[in-house]
Amino acid sequence: MYYYYKDINFLTLTLSFFTTLAQPQALPFYNNLSLMYHLAKGLYFHVTSKEEYSVLLLGLDNAGKTTLLEKVKSIYLPNAPPPPKEGGTIPTVGQNVSVIPLTSPTIYLKLWDIGGQSALRSLWKSYFSSAHAIVFVIDSTDVPRIGNEVIEVLKEVVEHEETEGVPVLVLANKQDREESLEIAQLKEVVNPIVVKLGARDSRVLPVSALEGTGVKEAVEWLKTRVMWNKESRPPTMR
Residue numbers belonging to the annotated binding site for GTP: 59-66, 116, 173-176
Say if residues 167 and 226 touch (Cβ distance below 8 Å).
yes
Q: Which residues are annotated as a binding site for Mg(2+)?
A: 66, 92
Q: How far apart are CA 80 and CA 212, in angstroms?
A: 15
Q: Which residues are annotated as a binding site?
A: 59-66, 92, 116, 173-176
Closest CA to 51 of 194, 203, 226, 195: 226
Q: How far apart are CA 75 and CA 7, in angstroms?
A: 58
Angle at 125 between CA 119 and CA 129, to 5 degrees: 160
Q: How far apart are CA 175 and CA 208, in angstroms?
A: 5
Closest CA to 163 of 60, 70, 65, 58: 58
Angle between helices 183-195 and 151-158 (to 10 degrees): 40
CB-count burial class (<10 Å; 0-12, 13-18, 19+) for 187:
middle
Q: How far apart are CA 66 and CA 163, in angstroms?
A: 22
